[in-house]
Amino acid sequence: SDKQVSCIGCGVFIQTEEPQKLGYAPESALLKEEVICQRCFRLKNYNEIQDVSLTDDDFLKILHGIGQSKGLIVKIVDIFDFNGSWLQGIQRFVGSNPVLLIGNKSDILPKSVKQQKLINWMKREAKELGLKPIDVCLVSSQRGHGIKEAAELIDEYRNGQDVYVVGCTNVGKSTFINRMIKEVANVQELITTSHYPGTTLDLIEIPLEDGTALYDTPGIINHHQMAHFVDKLDLKLLSPKKELKPKVFQLNESQTLYFGGIARFDYVSGGRESFVCYIPNEITIHRTKLENADALYEKHVGDLLTPPRKDAIDSFPKLIPHTFTINEGKTDIVFSGLGWVTVNNPGVKIVAYAPKGVNVTMRKSLI
């Protein structure tokens, strides 16, 4: 029949066409009396959250629903993609609910980065974007760093109420939730033993011990993320698994650095200076003269200057310049979703290029 079937886990309409989208179940699942979507199936049987993507409208609907409910919002961001992974307008949707801001992927931060400085920066940045989090913390969902502390904060701030975990795709939200399930024993117990009651459309409900729940929301696709401008293979290079190794460059005026072919750093003026690059180890940095930089890109994007790879350059956006004059010592030029360059001294003029749509910003250095 063509009657729409709903998942008994989360209530979403079942579809059998698109595995990456919400409500997917293989054809064979439809033969069963009780149909469960693949996402709920995995959670139930393997204690594992699988991320799916939603359209923007769907996501807004969910956020709106959260604003109408009472609970703690846990917003996950990628500390290497703070601006790119920000959810526009989140402050309007959360209503009066408190927001705990969690910066993920702390394992790639070089040791020299002061975590407290990063936390302070996240607070300021969130405030500037219109959100005042109740607290900010750092975790590595991959390695498990800070997870117990985050769980404690969640427990403290939720005040006996439900928890909603939000974040855009690729910030590591599923890794975070899976880590919570594994490390916070009572959560695991509850998932494996309790009846699986989820009823809220599009939200995955993970029951907590006192009758409240932790809800996973599907990731929103944020179109400004660097991650969307590169294909899957290139994205691997942009998702480092190891601590970043800072690379120092002594530059004269009118020299250019290319970070693969995805970003460019022109040192325009300010005398001989050193610059420290914090970008994924796998991305090769090429130095050239400013006057040759355009021609080099024309000729070598996709081979010498990669990512993007050759067969991905057609869909890769143009690099757009952003001009900065450094007035204070030790300043970072941040390429959202890629990393940053620390400028040591004031009086320096920089032009930083990123793909159209990707943010480049300046901040006080974290070192």
How far is Cα 38 from Cα 359, in angstroms, rounded to an integer? 35
Cβ 104 to ligand GDP shortest distance, Å: 5
Which residues between 229 and 258 bind ligand GDP (CB under 6 A)? 239-241
Q: Is 219 in the site for ligand GDP (CB under 6 A)?
A: yes
Dist CA 354 CA 34 (whole Å): 49
Residue with tokens 């427990």: 155
- Let me know: does 128 contact 135? Beta carbons within 8 Å: no
104 binds ligand GDP (CB under 6 A): yes
Among 83, 141, 255, 331, binds ligand GDP (CB under 6 A): 141
- Evaluated on CA atoms 178, 179, 180, 184, the torsion sign reads positive
Closest residue by Cα to residue 245 from 360, 141, 112? 112
Is 170 an interacting residue with respect to ligand GDP (CB under 6 A)?
yes
| Nearest distance from C-beta of residue 179 to ligand GDP, angstroms | 8
Q: Does 227 bind ligand GDP (CB under 6 A)?
A: no
Q: Single out the residue of 86, 93, 107, 121 in contact with ligand GDP (rule: CB under 6 A).
A: 107
Which range, of 22-30, 166-174, 246-254, 321-329, touches ligand GDP by CB under 6 A?
Answer: 166-174
- CB-CB contact of 146 with 117 (8 Å): no
Single out the segment in contact with ligand GDP by CB under 6 A; choices: 101-109, 124-132, 150-158, 326-334: 101-109
Using rule CB under 6 A, residue 173 touches ligand GDP: yes
Q: Which of 171, 277, 343, 360 is the binder for ligand GDP (CB under 6 A)?
A: 171
Q: Which stretch binds ligand GDP (CB under 6 A): 134-142, 301-309, 326-334, 349-357?
A: 134-142
Burial of 21 (0-12, 13-18, 19+ CB in 10 A): middle
Fill in the per-residue mask, 1 to 40: x = in contact with ligand GDP (CB under 6 A), - = not in contact: ----------------------------------------
Mark the segment that binds ligand GDP (CB under 6 A) among 103-111, 182-190, 298-306, 335-343: 103-111
Q: Is 9 or 218 the residue whose CB approaches ligand GDP more closely?
A: 218
Residue identified by tokens 């090769």 is 284
What is the C-alpha separation between 75 and 303, in angstroms, rounded? 38
Query: Considering the rule CB under 6 A, would residue 175 count as an interface residue with ligand GDP?
Result: yes
Residue 85 CB, nearest distance to ligand GDP (Å)?
A: 8
Residue pair 142/174 in contact by the 8 Å Cβ criterion: no
Residues paired with residue 323 on neighbouring β-strands, in sequence order: 351
Strands 348-355 and 319-326: antiparallel
Closest listed residue to residue 262, CA positions, set 317, 209, 219, 193: 317
Distance CA 361, CA 333 (A): 6
Please report the beta strands in the chain, taking only residues with DSSP state E, as ranges in sequence order: 53-54, 71-78, 99-104, 135-139, 162-166, 204-207, 213-216, 219-220, 247-251, 255-259, 263-269, 273-278, 285-289, 319-326, 331-335, 339-343, 348-355, 360-364
Q: Could you tell me the smallest distance in angstroms from the CB atom of residue 267 to ligand GDP?
A: 29
Nearer to ligand GDP, 133 or 219 (CB): 219
- Residue of 66, 77, 108, 204 that binds ligand GDP (CB under 6 A): 108
x/- binding map, residues 46-85, to ligand GDP, per CB under 6 A?
-----x----------------------------------
Q: What is the DSSP letter of 98?
A: -
Binding site for ligand GDP (CB under 6 A): 51, 104-105, 107-108, 140-142, 167, 169-175, 219, 239-241
